[in-house]
Chain A
Amino acid sequence: MPRRGWIGTSLVAAALLLFPPLSGFHPYYLYLVSTALLFGTLATSWNLLAYAGQISFGHAAFFGLGGYTAALVSLSGLSPWLALALGGAVGASGAAAIGMASARLSGASLALGTLAYTEIWRGIAHNWTAVSGGGAGLIGIPPLTPLPWLPLDLARSRTGSYYLALAFLLLVIAVFWGILRSRLGLAFAAVREEEERASLLGVHPLPWKVLAFALSGFFSGLAGGLYVNMVRVVEPDLIFSHYFSILPLVMATFGGLGTLLGPALAALALYLASELLLHPYIPAFHQLPYALALIVVALYLPGGLAGLLPSPSPLPKRGEGETRHGAA
């Protein structure tokens, strides 16, 4: 699709997304759409990391770190806005830390490493009772305070978190869009397509991989902080749940790896379909679409996730990377 088409589409999408709160949606539906937008943010940040060739099975760790940080900071009496920002920062640091492991791990090993990383944080949250509240978690997280320069009453009927979730999604898409057309995007693509050749040409892969992890972790941490702010509680099993690792993985691969808007659109479609169509009728099985989408993608995505990874043969497959990521 030409560049102008994408911009037009995003404008239309943005207009549609501004509409629900203004037209008087029921707060519950507003909450659902806000959560869907958060998953859009998470899926886009997963995709950003995958663009640099790193497959994560542990975004729940970054999401949860952001959530716990935001909860602790706002419970300590500081501004919830500062809490959200610090949540993003801690999410970025936590992601950068496991990103260092990508110096030694790649592909399936890195995926397993990130999975273990989530479990490590879940274990810490369970056991470090003095800070995290242990298995019971933290409750009574204060809502967002009104901002003097913003005419909206953010605390009222979930409108605030809706707009904030929308802003986060647009922000991560804008950042990804910027990366795709900058030297940073070229470096990420070089690391993804041919790590060895990139390092021969003077692009040291590790700093770029860590940077991709940190960026992805930052937006996941922001999303985690806002999520905690919306549900007002944080528990280890709730926030370090593999749900938050599986969903971005499904949404990004289903929506189209390396595309700008695919993951966010898939997030909205899959999440809303499962919550609105399945949850009311078969609550226990409302996660079915994700599981099925993941199985279908694993079996039928052309080349699987491998399309993202450096090719095992010493000779590059010319043109392949360009066509797959051509839309971006």
Chain B
Amino acid sequence: MSSHTFVQALLSGILLGCFYAVMALGFSMILGVTRALNLAHGDLIILGGYLGYWLWSGSGLHPLLLVPVAGAALLPLALLCQWLFQRLPEPKELSSLMLTFGLSLLLQNFMLGLWRGEYRIIASEPLTASVRVGSLVLNQGRLIVAAAALILVAALYLGLTRTRWGRAVRATSLDREAAALLGINVDEATRTTFLLAFGLSGGAGVLFATLHYLYPAGGIEVTLLAIVLTIWAGAGRLRSVLLASILLGVIETLTLTWSGPRWRELVVALMLLGSLLARSGGLARSRSR
């Protein structure tokens, strides 16, 4: 691999990583406040992508304008899921896996019924052009997606660190009972976290659909990716998620430059199994660091 190819792969990897961060955050936030593992996370992103595709092909609007629309469309689902997640028996990690395995199947069937299982992508003109920076060639769509992802992550970071709501959410993630004892409205904090996580996932879905083909069963790969990143970063830790995502993006791009793009799914699944074995504890344990 020449140094030029290496720098090119490194840059693409960083851009990819920013995009991964936005795809993983919803999963990580929900694990943080409820200790529930959402296996339907990837399906929510695909659903957001399909909604984006549907609106884009109907209206011809710029896909970035559809990001908030698709995000808002998932909000009722957030309330429904929060209601369901509240009712999960202990241990939540295992029962949430079962519940969300069911939800994932439900969402896939729903998408299959509405969009017939055909492969779809938002092939918008302004996104497919490429930009030259010196001797490096970057895809404009990937640049825009990475920028949009960074803006979303930054806004969320400010919200979590600078506002009253953010403090309530972080306190709830750290210790739900202690937070409740201190007079924090943990239910309110949980509800807003669900709304934000689902909105973020719906919006991320539109970004996803500009880069990847959508198909109803495609969510599992995104879910596995989100789990890998959450294991690496720790649940609900925003900056770590961003760093882990960039690391994963770079590793993936370098591996794929070396071995070819077909091995992508396999690499993510292997990393998940490897990370689980290396960690060998509860996933939510990472919170109390």
Residues in chain A within 8 A of chain B (CB atoms): 55, 57, 101, 104-105, 107-109, 111-113, 115-117, 119-120, 122-124, 126-127, 237, 241-242, 246, 249-250, 253, 282, 284-285, 287-288, 290-295, 297-299, 301, 303-306, 309, 312
Asked if residues B109 and A291 are in contact (CB atoms below 8 Å), the reply is yes
CA separation between A116 and B109, bound complex, in Å?
Answer: 22
Question: In the complex, what residues of B have CB within 8 A of residue A284's CB?
Answer: 109, 112-113
- The 10 tightest CB contacts between A and B, nearest first, are A123-B266, A294-B102, A284-B113, A108-B93, A119-B269, A298-B99, A298-B98, A104-B280, A291-B106, A116-B272
Task: Please report which residues of chain B, range 75-113, place their CB below 8 angstroms from some CB of chain A when the two chains form the complex.
Answer: 84, 87-91, 93-99, 101-103, 105-106, 109-110, 112-113
Docked-complex contact A117 and B280, CB < 8 angstroms: no
Residues of A within 8 Å of B96, CB to CB, are 298
Interface size range on B against A: 35 or more
Contact B265 A108, beta carbon cutoff 8 Å? no
What residues of A have a CB within 8 angstroms of the CB of B58 in the complex? none
Known: A237-B217, A306-B91. 5 other contacts (CB 8 A): A105-B276, A111-B97, A249-B101, A288-B106, A304-B89
Contact of B89 among A57, A119, A282, A299 (CB under 8 A): A299
Q: Which of B191-241 contact A (CB under 8 A)?
A: 217, 220-221, 224, 227
Which A residues are in CB contact (< 8 Å) with B113? Answer: 282, 284-285
Q: Does B129 contact A (CB under 8 A)?
A: no
Would A112 and B95 count as touching, CB distance under 8 A?
no
Please list 18 pairs of residues, one from A and one from B, whose beta carbons are closer than 8 Å in the complex, sorted by A's number: A101-B273, A105-B280, A113-B277, A119-B221, A119-B266, A119-B269, A120-B269, A242-B220, A246-B105, A282-B113, A288-B106, A291-B105, A291-B106, A294-B98, A294-B101, A298-B96, A299-B84, A304-B98
Main secondary structure of the interface of B (DSSP, over half): helix
Residue of A nearest to B114 (CB): A284
Task: Say whether B65 faces chain A, with CB atoms less than 8 Å apart.
Answer: no
User: Are the C-beta atoms of A291 and B102 separated by less than 8 Å?
Assistant: yes
- Output the least CB separation between A53 and chain B (Å): 12
> Is B101 a contact of A126 with CB atoms below 8 Å?
no
Partner of A298, one of B95, B270, B282: B95
User: Is B105's CB under 8 angstroms from A294's CB?
Assistant: yes
Measured between beta carbons, the chain B residues less than 8 angstroms from A294 are 98-99, 101-102, 105
Residue numbers in A under 8 Å from B263 (CB-CB): 123, 127
In the complex, the chain A residue whose C-beta lies closest to that of B260 is A127
Please determine whether B103 and A116 come into contact, CB atoms closer than 8 angstroms.
no
Q: Are B37 and A295 in touch, CB under 8 angstroms?
A: no
Whether the pair A109, B102 counts as a contact (CB closer than 8 A) is no
Question: Least Cβ distance of A5 to chain B in Å?
Answer: 30
B162 contact set on A, CB distance < 8 A: none
Contact in complex: A108, B282 (CB < 8 Å): yes
Cα–Cα, bound, A62→B94 (Å): 21
Given contacts A112-B272, A119-B265, A123-B263, contact A304 B106 (CB under 8 A): no
Q: Which residues of A contact B95 (CB under 8 A)?
A: 298-299, 304-306
Given contacts A108-B93, A249-B101, contact A295 B109 (CB under 8 A): no
* Interchain CA distance A288-B276 in the complex, whole Å: 31
CB distance from B30 to the nearest CB of A (A): 14
Chain A positions within 8 Å of B266 at CB level: 119-120, 123-124, 126-127
B residues near A298, Cβ cutoff 8 Å: 88, 95-96, 98-99, 102
